[in-house]
Amino acid sequence: MAHTVQQVVKVMEEIAPPYLAEEWDNVGLLVGRMQDSVQRVMVCLDVTEAIVHEAIQKGVDMIVSHHPVIFEKLKSLRGDTGRERLLYLLVGNNIAVYCAHTNLDKAAGGVDDVLAARLGLQDVRVLSADQRDKLYKVVVFIPKGHEDAVMDAMARAGAGWIGNYSHCTFQIDGTGTFMPLEGTNPYIGQQGRLEKVHEVRLETVVLSNQLDRVIQAMLQVHPYEEVAYDVYPLANRVKKHGFGRIGRLAHRMTFEEFIGKVCDDLGVSSLQVAGWVDDEVEVVATCAGSGGSLINKAYCSGAQVFLTGELKYHDAQAAAELGMATIAAGHYATEVFVVKELVSRLQKSFDALQYDIEVFAAETMADIYKTVGK
Ligand SMILES: [Zn+2]
């Protein structure tokens, strides 16, 4: 049976939930049609000319890329100029493009996690946690007999997920009272008469990003005209998503040794280093790509060195003045390892779902920068 772009999108959204993307970002299905069939998926960092030609040559139906293929506003879609020409080619060859950018950076097992794992960091934490990952308690009062339907609708919308458990709720029986007034159309009781009803108080937890969806789903299946429900913000800790990671090296080492290790781990021959660490290095903060905005977070979290892809001169200078060394290892070098990881996770998911889809990494990916000298 043919599988669709939409089915691939669904798997990608589980890996890198779109709600994690920054507001300025452009993620999701940027080229193509949801209903088109997919047999071959190619994963890459950037949709370059070489990548588009590789996709055409290999009969690829869908590209999954990290950097968005459309970012700036398009004012035309010409087949004879720069980036538009690539889009024109993609559309002409019926190749869909799905992009997971900042959502893949932040997601568990995404770009920043893959980089931290590559460096063998331990006790890894998110460096800059999203404020949106807040937990709420939702309490709803349901007439006895309807609690399962309401619970199920809420769970399907994302409520009650704790770790690997779904449908986590607590229910207690009680008595609800109400008096339907003029103009009402009560599910139970009559206008002007005080009613006592056997109700279930159902409580569950919901992440902030799913709160609206859960409430809507609950209201849709709840039999009452006016539903009584409460939403409480919680101070519980939740699994954080966000940019950057901080962790400890398995073994302390000198800064020179650490530099050698980074070159080996990332497969690069040179690094841009600012500042220096005189003590042995143990606490390392990382951010794949351009991580300049996380310098203060890294310093305040106790990092001795902050490793990222690329840094502005003045950001590196500011870090050095704080006494924290920085390493710029290259945007490409700090992100490219996610491609292999994504290929393996997608293939595993498709196999488990019995989708007849082949996933592979693009062969023509390349760092735009070369280190050259005299
Ligand atoms: Zn990037």
The tens digit of pLDDT for each residue in 329-350 reads 999 999 999 999 999 999 999 9
DSSP 104-155: HHHSTTSHHHHHHHHTT-EEEEEEEE-TT--EEEEEEEEETT-HHHHHHHHH
Give 373's pLDDT tier (boundaries 50, 70, 90): confident
Pairwise CA distance, residues 18 & 107, whole Å = 10
pLDDT at 150: 96
Q: How far is the CA of 75 from the centre of ligand 1 (A)?
A: 24
pLDDT at 161: 77
Burial class (CB within 10 angstroms; exposed 0-12, middle 13-18, buried 19+) of 93 = middle
Q: What is the average pLDDT value for the chain, to the nearest integer?
A: 94
For the segment 230-253, what is each residue's pLDDT rounded down to a tens digit? 999 998 877 778 999 999 999 999
**Least-confidence region, from 178-187, 296-305, 354-363:** 178-187
pLDDT at 91: 97
Pairwise CA distance, residues 224 & 245, whole Å = 47
pLDDT at 164: 61
Which tokens sit at 302?
């106790």
Classify each residue of 251-273 as buried b or exposed e, where b means 16 or more C-beta atoms within 10 Å of its C-beta. Answer: eebebeebbebbbebbebeebeb
Residue 28 pairs with which residues in a beta bridge?
99
The answer for residues whose C-beta is within 8 angstroms of residue 353's C-beta and 6 or more apart is 7, 11
pLDDT at 66: 98
CATH superfamily of 108-129+242-329: NIF3 (NGG1p interacting factor 3)-like (3.40.1390.30)
**pTM (predicted TM-score):** 0.80
The answer for residues whose C-beta is within 8 angstroms of residue 130's C-beta and 6 or more apart is 20, 106, 240, 241, 242
- 338 and 110 Cβ atoms separated by less than 8 Å: yes
The percentage of residues in the chain with a pLDDT greater than 70, rounded to a whole number, is 99
Q: What is the DSSP letter of 179?
A: -
Q: How far is the CA of 134 from the centre of ligand 1 (A)?
A: 26
Pairwise CA distance, residues 213 & 210, whole Å = 5
Pairwise CA distance, residues 364 & 42, whole Å = 11
Q: How far is the CA of 323 from the centre of ligand 1 (A)?
A: 26
Pairwise CA distance, residues 260 & 226, whole Å = 66
Q: How far is the CA of 164 from the centre of ligand 1 (A)?
A: 30
Q: How far is the CA of 254 from the centre of ligand 1 (A)?
A: 29
Pairwise CA distance, residues 316 & 324, whole Å = 9
Q: How far is the CA of 104 from the centre of ligand 1 (A)?
A: 10
For the segment 138-168, what is each residue's pLDDT rounded down to a tens digit? 999 999 999 999 999 998 887 887 766 778 8
Mean pLDDT value across residues 1-28 = 90
Which tokens sit at 39?
């047999």
pLDDT at 210: 80
Same fold, 108-129+242-329 and 135-233: no
Neighbours of ion ligand 1 (CB under 5 A): 289
Q: Is the pLDDT of residue 43 over 70?
A: yes
pLDDT at 40: 98
CATH entry, 3-101+336-361, from 2.40.170.20, 3.40.1260.10, 3.40.109.10, 3.40.1390.30: 3.40.1390.30
Pairwise CA distance, residues 57 & 63, whole Å = 13
Neighbours of 160 (CB within 10 A): 22
pLDDT at 162: 72
Q: How far is the CA of 198 from the centre of ligand 1 (A)?
A: 56
Q: How many CA atoms lie within 13 A of 49 on its CB side?
A: 8
For the segment 191-239, what is each residue's pLDDT rounded down to a tens digit? 889 989 999 999 999 988 789 989 999 999 999 989 999 999 998 877 7
Mean pLDDT value across residues 315-336 = 97
Q: What is the DSSP letter of 301?
A: T
Q: How far is the CA of 290 from the centre of ligand 1 (A)?
A: 7
CATH code of the domain occupying 135-233:
3.30.70.120
- The number of helices, as runs of H, and strands, as runs of E, in the chain is 12, 17
Sketch the domain layout of the chain as residue ranges.
3-101+336-361, 108-129+242-329, 135-233
Residue 308 pairs with which residues in a beta bridge?
287, 328
Q: How far is the CA of 4 from the centre of ligand 1 (A)?
A: 27
| Percent of the chain that is helix, strand, coil (3-state, to 5) | 35, 30, 40
For the segment 126-141, what is each residue's pLDDT rounded down to a tens digit? 999 887 678 899 999 9
